[in-house]
Amino acid sequence: MTRLDDFDFFLPPQLIAQRPCIPRDRSRLLVVNRKRSQLDHLRFFELPVLLRPGDTLVLNDTRVLPARFFTRKKKTGGLVEMLYVQRENELWEVLLKPSRKVRAGQCLCARENEEIQWEVIERRDDCWLVRPLFPLEKEEEVFTIAGKTPTPPYLRKTDIPMEDYQTVYARHNGSVAAPTAGLHFTEELLGKVQENGNETATVTLHVGPGTFLPVKTGCVEDHRMHAEKYNLSVEQAEKITRAREKGGRVIAVGTTVVRVLESIWQQYGKLVPCEGETDLFITPGFRFQAIDAMVTNFHLPRSTLFILVCAFGGTRFMQHAYREAVERKYRFYSFGDAMFIT
């Protein structure tokens, strides 16, 4: 049994980054060498000097939807914040806040345009099902008109532009949170990676509420992840496989990439092109087979993301790395600094 308390650490609130670093690649980079138990301090734009010939960076090319809606109850005028999670046939699965005052049968209207409405159908664990009262072919238009950037709750300002919460290589709409490790890359830096003789490959995982829902169980193994949709194409699977066969490292940019590649390896014993859903929860003792190194941000205490990082880097050593990051005032969470764990 693994205790959730083992993944706690002290984090001064002032270290939670509220805005992205400009330029993005000027953020700090803590280099974590597991074999040597060594920490080094660089800037993210120096990442290419850490890459070896044949290494391939694997990026999550999902695109974040403007998935936050500010609504009011049609009858009472009470304010309800709604976060779109995913579509289930003709219904939306959403998070509502405050959810305790919402009832099935109520009608919610978008505050920007009261003609945009949803009917509350039923509660499902932490989520709700609502029925859009507009044609589904107008769904994209509704996101454009009424949707806002789905910034995490630890960001005090909610007026973050969508482009600030989007990776430069985002392609496929579907996420309700950014794959934040990728926010450090610029087009210029990606160009330098390729000039360095390294390749990039992509997977798509649409980030869902499992990213930010807290672990509520004292025993880590009792927690269940929310399933998230992923896709690995034929071309990209072959590119990653070639890198492995030639002795290059597969470097996952972000925990979402880790979960996709390790999920596929668990199922097939190798990387094959496929699409599906993953609810893989990686905890200490997990045997990593698909990746050799990872780039990741600094995560919340007691979160599934920090637990995954501890599984890869070792709980004791990652606690040490985080303490040093706090002492040196690294910036944490979505718009914060990064780690390269090798």
9-48 pLDDT, tens digit per residue, is 999 999 999 999 999 999 999 999 999 999 999 999 999 9
- Give the pair of three-digit tokens for residue 132: 């859009």
Distances (CA, A) of 239 to 10, 259, 308: 41, 18, 25
Tell which residue, 148, 268, 246, has the closest CA to residue 197.
246
Q: How confident is the model at residue 221 (pLDDT cuts 50, 70, 90)?
A: confident
- For residue 102, pLDDT over 90 is answered with yes
Mean pLDDT in residue range 323-335? 97
Predicted pLDDT at 153: 83
Mean pLDDT in residue range 189-202? 96
Predicted pLDDT at 156: 84
Q: How confident is the model at residue 99 (pLDDT cuts 50, 70, 90)?
A: confident
Mean pLDDT in residue range 297-312? 96
Predicted pLDDT at 161: 92
Q: How confident is the model at residue 159 (pLDDT cuts 50, 70, 90)?
A: confident
Coil, helix or strand for 317?
helix
- DSSP codes, 84-119: EEEEETTEEEEEEETGGG--TT-EEEESS-TT-EEE
- For residue 121, pLDDT over 80 is answered with yes
Predicted pLDDT at 164: 95
241-263 pLDDT, tens digit per residue, is 999 999 999 999 999 999 999 99
Backbone phi, then psi, for 314, in 5-degree steps?
95, 125
262-286 pLDDT, tens digit per residue, is 999 999 999 999 999 999 999 999 9
Say which amino acid occupies 333.
Answer: Y
Q: Is the pTM of this model over 0.85?
A: yes
- For residue 209, pLDDT over 80 is answered with no
Distances (CA, A) of 325 to 10, 28, 102, 209, 312: 11, 10, 41, 27, 18
Separation CA 295–CA 59 (nearest Å): 10
Q: How confident is the model at residue 126 (pLDDT cuts 50, 70, 90)?
A: confident
Kind and range of the H or E element at 143?
helix 139-146
Query: What residue ranges define each of the domains in the chain, with the CATH number in brackets?
Result: 4-64+161-341 (3.40.1780.10), 68-146 (2.40.10.240)
Separation CA 254–CA 178 (nearest Å): 10
Ranked by mean pLDDT, the top range of 40-54, 122-136, 147-161 is 40-54
Predicted pLDDT at 211: 67
Q: What is the largest CA-CA distance in the chain?
A: 64
Mean per-residue pLDDT over the chain, rounded: 95
Distances (CA, A) of 8 to 62, 144, 341: 30, 39, 20
Separation CA 27–CA 43 (nearest Å): 6
- Give the pair of three-digit tokens for residue 20: 């992205």
Q: How confident is the model at residue 212 (pLDDT cuts 50, 70, 90)?
A: low
Separation CA 58–CA 298 (nearest Å): 19
Mean pLDDT in residue range 58-64? 98
